[in-house]
Amino acid sequence: MAPLLDVTNLVTEFATRDGLLRAVDGVSLSVARGEVLGLVGESGSGKSVTGFSILGLVDPPGRIASGSVVFDGQELIGLPENRLRQLRGRRIAMVFQDPMMTLNPVLSIETQMVEAVLAHQNASKAAARERALEMLGRVGIASPASRLAQYPHQFSGGMRQRVAIAIALINRPDLVIADEPTTALDVTVQGQILFEMQKLVRESGSALIWITHDLAVIAGLADRVAVMYAGRIVEQGAAAEVLELPAHPYTRGLLDSVPANNATSRRLKQIPGMTPSLLRLAPGCAFRERCERAAERCIDMPELKLHGARHVRCHFPLVSA
């Protein structure tokens, strides 16, 4: 079965005052129905821009320079804006980190949810309201009937994110792209949201791309993981495999940096240096400068090669081929 979403060699560039910035550089990934893909990376790795590019949400000075995004057999790049609008919110939905990016502060939740249904479906207002009520209940909002008439400011942060998720899922999309939706939330609320998302994906068979910097969240949620560094995917494979035996030195370094993993040792194994500026990227592997395994060969950009069941972009991977 062909995957639901197939991204190949996606390149997204931003024209800045200091030159052309390649935020996403040749990213290829795919997601099947019912699958959860975790897209992991630190700030500036291009993970969010990848998500925006899939939806065609890159505004000037940014542009998708090349590559292809095939969704359910249809090429999305170059698709006219009105066609994209039919897809967004209907078949592909996005959940943002800040729910206030999705919610309009001066409209009631009811207006916003009903509008989302009517924009894509030929339904009556009453039916749309029914659907809104049902969704609010599904994301775990107590007494949805009384909450529906309220405005976003009357909800807590966690509740707002639930409403944003309810709106994203209201048209039963085939693909949900979630960009750090729980980062701003408290752990107990995050646990609830993860629970709801997991349940909704399982029930509806939607595909989910979960963009985050938090490896621990990915560990609990994702089937597959793609790790990004400086605009490129450096490792991609089954979540269990990647997190247990990372092949790329950067993935290894990230895992070692997480304090909970090192509770016994008093010093964290750290990655030296910092993420390189995308504007002044030296040739070759972008992680070279911080990598303890780096050698002269790393001056040539390694290809994303298959090692067992996963893809690794490294000349000296930590697992044998």
The region of 20-28, 90-98, 168-176, 269-277 touching other proteins under the rule CB under 8 A is: 269-277
Q: Which residues contact 113 (CB under 8 A, 6 or more apart)?
A: 128, 131, 132, 135, 136, 148, 163, 166, 167, 170
Binding-site string for other proteins from residue 297 to residue 316, where x marks contact by CB under 8 A and - marks none: --------------------
Size of the site for other proteins (CB under 8 A): 49
Choice from 1, 106, 126, 187 touching other proteins (CB under 8 A) = 187
Q: How far is CA 37 from CA 190, 221, 301, in A?
A: 18, 9, 25
Q: Encoding tokens for residue 35?
A: 């699958």
Binding of other proteins by 204 (CB under 8 A): no
Choice from 57, 198, 284, 305 touching other proteins (CB under 8 A) = 198
Binding of other proteins by 90 (CB under 8 A): no
Residue of 128, 98, 97 lying closest to 111 (CA atoms) = 128
Burial 285-311 (b: 16+ CB within 10 A, else e): bbbbebbeebeeebeebbebeebeebb
Binding of other proteins by 158 (CB under 8 A): yes
Name which of residues 15 to 44 contact other proteins (CB under 8 A): 42-43
Binding of other proteins by 226 (CB under 8 A): no
Q: Which residues contact 219 (CB under 8 A, 6 or more apart)?
A: 239, 243
Binding of other proteins by 257 (CB under 8 A): yes
Chain residues that interact with other proteins, rule: CB under 8 A: 42-43, 156-159, 186-192, 194-195, 198, 213-217, 219-223, 239-240, 243, 253-263, 266-272, 274-275
